[in-house]
Amino acid sequence: MLYLHIEPDQQLWLDAFASEAPDLKVVTAEDNPDPDKVRWVAAWNPSEGLFGRFPNLEAVFALGAGVDAFVRRDDLSEDVPLIRLLDAGMAEQMVEYILWATLTVQRDFDRYQQLQQQQKWQEHTARLKKQMRLGILGLGALGQEVATQLAAYGYPVSGWKRSPLELEGVRVFTGDQGLDDLVTQSDVLISLLPNTPQTRGLLNGELLKKLPQGAALVNVARGVQVVDEDLLQLLDSGHLRFAALDVFHEEPLPPEHPFWTHPAIRVTPHMAAATLPEPAVEQVVANLKKLEAGEEPAGLVKAESGY
Ligand code: GLV
C-alpha cells in the first residue's frame, strides 16, 4: 500500500493514481491505515516524524524536484531508497519564468513600469537576445532541459555543474574557477541548484559582485542559497539591476521582509514550477514497477550528494 501525503489538491493526486494505477492501493491520513502495511510513501513537505510511523517502508517518493526536506532526517534511514521527480512538467514552467525575468530586463519592462508611474514617454535602446548571456547554475534533469530550451530560443546559454557534461548548444563550466568564469559573463544568473551544504549561501556578495554591471538574478531553486543582505546591497548600489525571487529563507516570506517592497525585486510565492499530478504520478508508478523488477528507479537520490 502507498501512503500519500500532499497538500493542497490531495484529491487530484488520488485521481491521478487511480487512473494511472487502478490496482495500486493508495491511502491518506484520513484512511487511518495500518502502518505495518505501508510499503511506500509519496509526499511533499513531509511533516516531522512522518516516515518513522511506517516500520516496513521500502521506498519514499518525493513529489518534487528538490529533496532537501527528505534528507538528513532522523525518521528516514539512508537505507530506504529516496526517489525524486525528474522534470514532470516543471522544465517548461521554469523556462517560462526565466523568460519572463529575462525579458523584463532585456526589453526594459521594469523601467517602463516606472516610467508609466511618472507618466513619462521615453524609449530605451533595444537589446537583442544574443546580447543577453544566461548563466544557469545547476545542470541536473531540470537545468539541462531548461538550458537547452533557452539556447534553442536564441540566447547564449552557459551552465555550471559539479561534474563535466556535454550539452548541445550550451557552454558547460565546472569547478570553482568555472563558477567564477560563468558568473563574470552572465547578464542573467539563474539558480536551479539543489539545496546542499555546498550551495547554502553560495549566492553571496563576493560571488554576485563578479556579475557584470547591470546584471539580474533569478532564484528558482532554494532561498537559503542567497545571502539576502548582500543581494539588497548590490541592488541598492546599482551593481545589480533586477532580481526575480521565487524562493526564500522563510516561506511564506515574512511581511516585514525588505524584498516585498524593493523596487528592483519581484517576489513570487514559490510558484515558478508547480508539480503536476499526472506526469508526476506517471513517474512514481513507472518507478514502482522498476523497484518490483529489481531495477534502479529514475531519480534515485544518491546519499553522498543528497540529490
Ligand atoms: C519545488 O520546489 C521542488 O523542488 O519541486
* Torsion of the alpha carbons at 222, 198, 145 and 300, rounded to the nearest 10: -100
Q: Is pLDDT above 90 for 306?
A: no
248 CA to centre of ligand 1 in angstroms: 13
Residue 281 three-state SS: helix
Reported CATH class of domain 91-267? alpha beta
Alpha-carbon span 117 to 306, nearest angstrom = 46
Owner of C-alpha cell 531519480: 299
- Atom in ligand 1 nearest the alpha carbon of residue 85: 5
Pairing of strands 265-267, 188-191: unpaired
Nearest to 123 by CA among 132, 111, 131, 134: 111
Q: How confident is the model at residue 303 (pLDDT cuts 50, 70, 90)?
A: confident
304 pLDDT more than 90: no
Rounded to an integer, the average pLDDT of 142-156 is: 98
**pLDDT per residue over 88-134, tens digit each?**
999 999 999 999 999 999 999 999 999 999 999 999 999 999 999 99
Q: pLDDT digits over 270-300, tens only? A: 999 999 999 999 999 999 999 999 999 999 9
Q: Of ligand 1's atoms, which has the minimum distance to the CA of residue 67?
A: 4
pLDDT cut 90: percent of the chain above it = 99
Q: Which residue has the higher pLDDT, 239 or 303?
A: 239
- Per the listing, cell 516585514 goes with 256
For the chain, give every residue range classified as CATH 3.40.50.720: 2-88+275-292, 91-267
C-alpha radius of gyration, the chain, whole number:
21
- Residue 147 and residue 160: Cα distance in Å, rounded? 10
* pLDDT (0 to 100) of residue 305: 87
CATH superfamily of 2-88+275-292: NAD(P)-binding Rossmann-like Domain (3.40.50.720)
Pocket test for ligand 1, best of 146, 248, 275, 283 (most atoms within 8 A of CB): 275
Element (H, E) at 161: strand 157-161
